[in-house]
Amino acid sequence: MTGFLPENPGVIEMDVIAEIRRRFHVENETITSLANAFDLSRPTIRKHLKTVEEPIYHRQNQPHPKLGLFHSQLDAWLEQEAHFPRKQRRTAQRLYECLQVEGYQGSYTIVQRYVKGWKKKQASSPTVKQAFVPLAFPAGETCQFDWSQETVMLGGAVQTIKVAHFRLTYSRQMFVVAYPRETQEMVLDAHGKAFAFLGGVPKRMVYDNLKTVVDTVFVGKERRFNRRFLALANHYLFEPVACTPESGWEKGQVENQVGNIREWLFTPIAKFEDFASLNAWLERRCLELAARPNPGQPSRSIADCFAEERRLLMPVKAAFDGYVEEIRRVSQLCLIRIDRNRYSVPAKWANTVVSVRLTANQVRMIADGHVIAEHGRHFGRDQLVCDPWHYLPVLEKKPGALRHGAPFLTWDLPVSVKVVRDRILKQDKGDRAFVDLLLMARSLGDSGLETLEVACDLTLQAGIMSAPVVLNEMRRLTESARPKPLQDRLPSMPTLTLEPVADCSRYDTLRSSRHVH
């Protein structure tokens, strides 16, 4: 009968008590027999024969004389840290170590049990539940903003992305757009996309105290907003409002939207080729979800309320250039490092300081008030982004770099140009000869590469492969038309209707006496 013995000595389970009572009342087994069978005393058997309800066992509080002197200190620490964020609270192990410094000589288990009991007691104590007032917002007045972190599959790889959320508080119209990260240029770009989607700008925008939006939090609602963000607000003429710290209910609509969007759009995991296709899909879904009833006006859809609110939004007169500017130094390799990637700059600006303007998808280098280089932005690591034309002045002095220079190894040239290049490089002084072709193409401006491609095609058709032939073809393609003959350009001469008659007698008058001296 050992199968009926309780795992914890002194604690009898209800199934054992039921078995004792059944065997006594039904099978007429004696108390002594039951005591031997269950290895219990006869008084215990008699007690359980009277037990109908499940017994409740209370654990008595064990005295801890070594901890007793430190109860007040431990309680003070626990009460003080109960208001701290969870990551800043000391664990039971850390509290035990601090008590040892104070002179405690007991074991860690006693401290751990006391801390666990204290926290359980605090959790079970009645708390004051917060009450809220239902809010109503005028049309066209307020829009709430927030970020969320989601997981998607882009290009076959699982990535963690950031999603910017916008929500008009009257119509409940939402707009979401995804980015690789949560930096300020992403915030600026998201606002431009949101206002273009909404067809206007609300009068107020409500935010958390984001570092990309708020520089300093003062008492109450007073804030010092970021200067670049204020430039955005000044451009679109909306009023920025920051919530009270740790008071998410002040923008509760967008807080709820974050959870809903995660459930509706990112569960299960969304799969797209790149951010462009993902954001195009998110925009379509925002329009489709607008067919749902408006929570504040269930008889109307979100789309109907948005059509009403859209007319009251402030118009967007011009898009904001949402860049963030930094000062960077160009290396000897004509490169600038940005976010663990390197971007090329024309060789003229090597070893100088230039201005870099970062947007959500572009990198622009500025010097002397002009854009000297422009690249698509990359968000991986240790990537080299080069424009081979930036290094052409270096090739002019060091043509041998054409063969092994990193910018030229991956240069996507037209097929005919690649064929001509490979053949010329096999000739004597072919490096210098092909560099001369590139210099000629650069001198022709934007049409230079196209002209070089046509010249290479003509050279391949002629079957005579040399750099002078290609140069000659480029000059023929670009030389201006010969001037027309002078007589072709003069206006036509007038035609005489009455030809003059020769009259030699007029010369005799010169012989008259009047003219003789």
Between CA 143 and CA 514 the distance in angstroms is 109
Q: Which of 206, 378, 213, 190 is nearest to 283 (CA)?
A: 190
> Domains of the chain: which residue ranges?
2-49, 65-119, 142-310, 324-385, 393-477
The tens place of each residue's pLDDT in the chain, 517 residues long, gives: 444 444 444 556 778 888 888 888 888 899 999 899 888 899 988 888 887 776 665 555 666 677 878 888 888 888 888 877 777 788 888 899 898 988 888 889 888 988 888 888 887 766 555 666 777 789 999 999 999 999 999 999 999 999 999 999 999 999 999 999 999 999 999 999 999 999 999 999 999 989 999 999 888 778 999 999 999 999 999 999 998 887 767 788 999 999 999 999 998 899 999 999 999 999 999 999 999 999 989 999 999 999 999 999 999 999 999 999 999 999 999 999 998 999 999 999 999 999 999 999 999 999 999 999 999 999 988 999 999 999 999 998 999 888 889 999 889 999 999 999 999 999 888 899 999 999 999 988 888 899 999 999 998 998 888 889 999 989 988 886 556 665 655 666 677 677 777 777 777 777 665 555 4
SS (H, E, C) 18-62: HHHHHHHHCCCCCHHHHHHHHCCCHHHHHHHHCCCCCCCCCCCCC
CA 273 and chain centroid, separation: 16
Between CA 370 and CA 421 the distance in angstroms is 33
| Number of other CB atoms surrounding residue 269 within 10 Å | 10
Looking at this protein, which amino acid is placed at residue 367?
A: A
pTM, two decimals, is: 0.67
Burial (CB count <10 Å: 0-12, 13-18, 19+), residue 163: buried
Between CA 442 and CA 399 the distance in angstroms is 16
Q: Are 8 and 44 in contact (CB under 8 A)?
A: no
Q: At residue 54, what are phi and psi to the nearest 5 degrees?
A: -65, 130
Q: For helices 71-81 and 108-124, give the axis angle rounded to 10 degrees.
A: 50
Superfamily per CATH, domain 142-310: Ribonuclease H-like superfamily/Ribonuclease H (3.30.420.10)
Q: Are 439 and 396 in contact (CB under 8 A)?
A: yes
Q: Which of 130, 132, 114 is nearest to 122 (CA)?
A: 114
Between CA 361 and CA 341 the distance in angstroms is 14
